[in-house]
Every structure is written in C-alpha cells, then in structure tokens.
C-alpha cells in the first residue's frame, strides 16, 4: 500500500499538469484530475469531568475511518480577471 502510494505521488509530482501556473501562454480551458486516500487511526483522550474531584476523569475516543477521494475540475478562463469553474468529487464516507 505504501509503495503504491509513493509511486502514485511521484507520478503526479512529475506530470506537467501539476505545474499549470508555469505556462506563459493563455489557455481558455484547463482540466485537472485529483485523487487521494487517508489512512486513519483511532485516538483515546483522558478527559477530566467538570465539577468532579480532580482524580476523576473519563476516557473519550475518536475513531477515524480510512477512505478515498476522487475528483475532477474544469476551468474556463474568461480573460484576465474572470473564470468559470466546475468541480465534482466523490468520496467514501
């Protein structure tokens, strides 16, 4: 999993679409695809109770789930100061 993520990251970093701001020519339409993943952990926190003796606390947990995010973005440049943007994404929740 880590090796695949590293290869994917390096592929994106070396592609020319990552450096879209470095072009000197005017482009009316631009498109971008993006993807990501999260590897989550669960956390436990010792939380003191308000109004209780100092030694009394409760453990509160936070649980995150792993997931993915896929998306696409299309821009239409309308001159020097305006643009239209359409963005669509999908994620597992």
Please provide the distance, in angstroms rounded to a whole number, between the alpha carbons at the two ends of the chain: 20
52 lies in a domain?
A: yes
State which H helix or E strand residue 35 sits in: strand 29-38
Q: What pLDDT does residue 88 have?
A: 81
22 lies in a domain?
A: no
7 lies in a domain?
A: no
Q: What pLDDT does residue 43 have?
A: 86
Eight-state DSSP code of residue 52: S
Domain total for the chain?
A: 1
User: pTM surpassing 0.85?
Assistant: no
Q: What is the pLDDT of residues 27-82, one digit of tens each?
A: 788 888 888 887 777 888 888 887 777 778 888 888 888 888 888 988 888 877 78
Q: Mean pLDDT across the stretch 17-25?
A: 56
Token pair 């100092």 in the structure block, residue? 54
Q: Is residue 86 pLDDT above 70, yes or no? A: yes
Range of the domain at 45: 28-93
């Amino acid at each position: 999993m880590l090796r695949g993520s590293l290869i994917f990251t390096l592929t994106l970093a070396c592609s020319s679409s990552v450096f879209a701001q470095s072009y000197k020519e005017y482009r009316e339409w631009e498109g971008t695809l993006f993807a990501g993943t999260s590897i989550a952990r669960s956390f436990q926190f010792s939380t003191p109770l308000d109004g209780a003796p100092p030694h009394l606390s409760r453990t509160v947990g936070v649980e995150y789930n792993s997931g993915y995010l896929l998306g696409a973005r299309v821009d239409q440049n309308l001159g020097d100061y305006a643009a239209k943007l359409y963005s669509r994404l999908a994620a597992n929740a």
